[in-house]
Structure 1
Amino acid sequence: MRTALFDLDGTLVNTERRSLAMWRLLLENHGFEPDETLVRRFMGRRGRDVLPEIMPDGDVTALLAEVFSYDELPGLPGIEPVPGAAELVRRIAGSGSPLGLVTSAHRAWALERLAALQVAELVRTIVSAEDVVVGKPDPSGYLAAADRLGVDPVTCVVFEDSLAGIAAAKAAGMTCVAVATTHDETELSHADLVVPDLSGVDWPLTDLRLV
């Protein structure tokens, strides 16, 4: 039996525009002129890992608290489910396949988003930013999820949208389905399968030889 592991932001919910707007504001408030390349370094990765690369002398804990405070600001891009996300999660859970979440976001945020999708009770394990020493593209989060679920990593199918997330899944020895919500499909060619969203995804997957 295959195991499904999902990323959250950009894969189950369209939050990347909101998140990147918050990181852009943080950088501007600390004297940077953030271009698209700089801001996109946060995509799919923990802020705790990226901030020291950009602001090596900064107080990471304080910077994270500051960016989280921006979530209440008016005018930020909204949060919407990726088409087909909740339906696919329910289909996988209904099949009896183990199902987990591996996210660079904090646990409280992840639980809030899963609850909004009305699938929180279907996710057997969550590996969040607090649970790993090094975040994506390091594979430790996905390997931890497989270990918690008691499954072999090679039986896992990962759903991801970011380059860092795809690299983490492949480094863990897992099959990866890339969801082209935040990147052009041509950028995701190192995944095993690329789909525009989750609305047309079957379970078990029929587009790959996974038996």
Structure 2
Amino acid sequence: MRLELPAGTFRAYLFDCDGTIVDSMPLHYKAWKKALAEHGAEYEEELFYAWGGRPIREIIRLLNEMQGLEMPVEELAARKEALYHQLVPTLQPIPEVVEHIDAKHGHIPMAVVSGSRRSSVTASLGAVNLLDKFDTLVCAEDYKNGKPAPDAFLLAAERLGVPPAECLVFEDTDLGIEAATAAGMVSVKVPQPLERG
């Protein structure tokens, strides 16, 4: 797999974290399965990838509605995150994305724009020794409206001091690509594990 970048001169790179920089989606899915099994809930793998980029609490609310359950949102969110953190030491980066991070590090500003909480993002980036490559991290605590709203990407561009039109976004989910487009940014799609084959 090679990532073909769109034509243009970009003054900043913005990266989603899970499934884009780090191959964490299979680990997140394992954590979800284990946490949800404790409540007798199902989460099909195809749906998990289709919902990529959605906030954790929204996923729990939706699963509750779909399956007629009353799982405790905060408690389950904390449990799922704790299970994920146990798996973090086994995390691997996505080489085709790291190649672009290494090539531009020190030349243009870069940010991570994630729907995950800061503790999860810093743990993931720390596990693959990439935390120091980014000028800013925009995480779930930093904005009100998650992807597909453009808020997180616009905040990252503002922090980096680069106009949105001059930012290139790396994303693995349709929600993330929608958010980048809504922010007036060009994006490149990183194939998900199911698409890599």
Which TM-score bucket, shorter chain as reference? 0.7 to 0.9
**Tell me, what secondary structure is at the counterpart of 2:102?**
helix
Change over 3 Å in CA distance of 1:7–1:182 after alignment to 2:
same
Report whether the alignment pairs 1:64 with 2:73: no
Change over 3 Å in CA distance of 1:122–1:73 after alignment to 2:
closer
Partner of 1:94: 106
Instruction: Report the residue type matching 1:112 in the other structure.
Output: A
Cα contact 2:18–2:25 (8 A) shared by 1: yes
Show structure 2 runs of 5+ residues with no match: 1-9
In the TM superposition, what is the alpha-carbon distance from 1:64 to its structure 2 partner?
0.8
Please report the TM-score for the alignment, with normalisation by the length of structure 1: 0.76
In the TM superposition, what is the alpha-carbon distance from 1:63 to its structure 2 partner?
1.3
**Tell me, what secondary structure is at the counterpart of 1:138?**
coil
Across the aligned residues of Structure 1 and Structure 2, the Cα RMSD in angstroms comes to 2.5
**Tell me, what secondary structure is at the counterpart of 1:170?**
helix
Aligned residues: 184
Q: Deviations over 1:43-84 (max 9, x none)?
A: 22220222222225543221111112323668x994211014
Partner of 2:5: none
**Tell me, what secondary structure is at the counterpart of 1:13?**
coil
Report whether the alignment pairs 1:10 with 2:19: yes
Cα contact 1:161–1:182 (8 A) shared by 2: no
Please report the TM-score for the alignment, with normalisation by the length of structure 2: 0.81
In the TM superposition, what is the alpha-carbon distance from 1:42 to its structure 2 partner?
4.1
Partner of 1:206: none
Change over 3 Å in CA distance of 1:44–1:183 after alignment to 2:
farther
Change over 3 Å in CA distance of 1:155–1:72 after alignment to 2:
closer
In the alignment, the residues of structure 2 paired with residue 2 and residue 117 of structure 1 have an alpha-carbon distance, to the nearest angstrom, of 25
The structure with the greater share of residues assigned to helix is 2
Partner of 1:49: 58
Say which is worse superposed, 108-117 or 166-175, in terms of deviation.
108-117
The aligned runs of 1:1-211 (5 Å cut-off) are 2-55=11-64, 57-71=70-84, 78-95=90-107, 97-182=108-193, 184=195
In the alignment, the residues of structure 2 paired with residue 126 and residue 146 of structure 1 have an alpha-carbon distance, to the nearest angstrom, of 11
Say which is worse superposed, 165-174 or 30-39, in terms of deviation.
30-39
In the TM superposition, what is the alpha-carbon distance from 1:29 to its structure 2 partner?
2.2
Q: Deviations over 1:93-133 (max 9, x none)?
A: 232x1210001222122122222333322211101111122
Q: Percent identity?
A: 34
**Tell me, what secondary structure is at the counterpart of 2:192?**
coil
